[in-house]
Structure 1
């Protein structure tokens, strides 16, 4: 019997026009109304705004959460259920929603506050490296203060995060096929987000977590968990901790998973997983047309 994992993308997967065909679906109407009440703005309007408003962190995170949560609802309505869930950074919130750890509105309140705190974070920098010597990179990070490995996506693709000086220092010392400075407001997934994490804690504490209905692989700890307190603790650590996506990918076959569905816009996660676990069957569900029967 096929065992399936659902994975949920985070920031970087958004695109103008995403979700267009699901917004008119009757099942989406209630969620969109709830979202507008919580956010004070319309998710469909932002997603379809030609000025790429959807790529501003303040809007990106809530829009991805809402679009992905609606896709989850539509999949579950058709009788589909995952055996395991995981999400990349912001995507972890959708994974927890899917596993019934919290309801849609509670998750959106968390995501709204997270996006506000992250959009106000400054004095930091992030850069992606593709095709590099991992040993050389790890050594350089150890020797440089104020920089960390923020996203370990797969063997050939990572993101470093820290102060601009520290990130520049590492980039100048490590040979890579490609190094790209990311257009973000702060040093996400690094200790420089400690103040934001402290501000986020009371909001997180105010939301009741339930035991997960299916195991969740968290960004900061890729071992399966269903315990509500453990999942909340891991989410608290996520803002300053690394996204260990390479280890999450490796864990999937270990847990008997043979099929992975990326639920959300784009194909970023299936692209990353393909390089780490080429034997897995990979699918994407980003629109109504992609929904399995």
Structure 2
């Protein structure tokens, strides 16, 4: 029988108006209200605000967590269940929630602190490269201090992160079809986040993690795991470590996964996975209309 993985997108997938159709459902509306009490601000208001405000790390990460976790709960309530879960950067928190590693409140409180720490990290630059020579890129990264591979999404799409001058140096020395500097506050998934990661470790230490009920493919280690201590350690390393999404994608067929459902706004992850594993069946659930039973899908 074909196995299914649910994957959860991270920062960059947010869109104005996301999750607003969920407010028509009583169970989802209650979850939005719970989130507002924890955060001290309205997720619904932020999701309906202008794109610049929604794209601020402080608001983006908690808002995506809330919307994606509600969609995951609605899928489960309709009898759906994944065999594996994975999430891209902050999406890993939703994956862990979906696997019952922690409850909704624990996850949101962790995301709130993570977002605050990352939002205040002002030193650094991130840039996406598309259509490049990987050997040339790896050589430049080895030769240039203070810049690392932050997101290894697929063979033709990566993100580098580090000190601005170092990132600029690599961009100047690597031929790419397209290079885009990202509008983020700091050098995420790089050693420049070490101070934030140390501070965040305190929050992780105080959070209760349980045995995962569904194997999790983690950003810093794509080998499926269910052990609570292992998953917590991987989550701490995630803030400074590379998002190894290309390896997660390759791991899926090796684990017998034939179907991948992206749970959340947009189609970023299914687009990335398609480049690496075109044989996988890819689906998207980003709204009430796309839930099984609403669109004729079972």
Shorter-normalised TM range: over 0.9
After the TM superposition, list the runs of 4 or more consecutive aligned residues in structure 1 that deviate by more than 6 angstroms.
none
C-alpha separation between the residues in 2 aligned to 1:51 and 1:34? 24
Alpha-carbon offset, residue 51 of structure 1: 5.2
In the other structure, the counterpart of 1:139 is 139
The SS at the match of 1:23 is helix
In the other structure, the counterpart of 1:27 is 27
1:207-286 alignment runs, 5 A limit: 207-286=207-286
Structure 2: gaps of 5 or more residues = 294-298
In the other structure, the counterpart of 1:124 is 124
* Structure 1 residue 97 corresponds to structure 2 residue 102: no
Query: In 2 relative to 1, CA 51–135 (structure 1 residues): closer, same or farther, beyond 3 Å?
Result: closer
In the other structure, the counterpart of 2:60 is 60
**Is 2:15–2:51's contact at 8 Å kept on the other side of the alignment?**
no
Deviation per CA, 1:87-129, whole angstroms, max 9, x where unpaired? 0000000000000000000000000000000000011000000
C-alpha separation between the residues in 1 aligned to 2:98 and 2:150? 25
The SS at the match of 2:257 is coil
In the other structure, the counterpart of 1:88 is 88
TM-score, normalised by the number of residues in structure 1: 0.99
Cα RMSD of the aligned pairs, angstroms, is: 0.7
In the other structure, the counterpart of 1:196 is 196
In the other structure, the counterpart of 1:108 is 108
Deviation per CA, 1:120-143, whole angstroms, max 9, x where unpaired? 001100000000000000000000
Alpha-carbon offset, residue 50 of structure 1: 3.1
C-alpha separation between the residues in 1 aligned to 2:32 and 2:77? 17
C-alpha separation between the residues in 2 aligned to 1:173 and 1:86? 33
Structure 1: gaps of 5 or more residues = none
Query: In 2 relative to 1, CA 51–15 (structure 1 residues): closer, same or farther, beyond 3 Å?
Result: closer
Deviation per CA, 1:125-174, whole angstroms, max 9, x where unpaired? 00000000000000000000000000000000000000000000000000
Deviation per CA, 1:215-258, whole angstroms, max 9, x where unpaired? 00000000000000000000000000000000000000000000
In the other structure, the counterpart of 1:10 is 10
C-alpha separation between the residues in 2 aligned to 1:187 and 1:258? 34
C-alpha separation between the residues in 2 aligned to 1:61 and 1:15? 12
TM-score, normalised by the number of residues in structure 2: 0.97
C-alpha separation between the residues in 1 aligned to 2:70 and 2:229? 26
**Is 1:68–1:264's contact at 8 Å kept on the other side of the alignment?**
yes
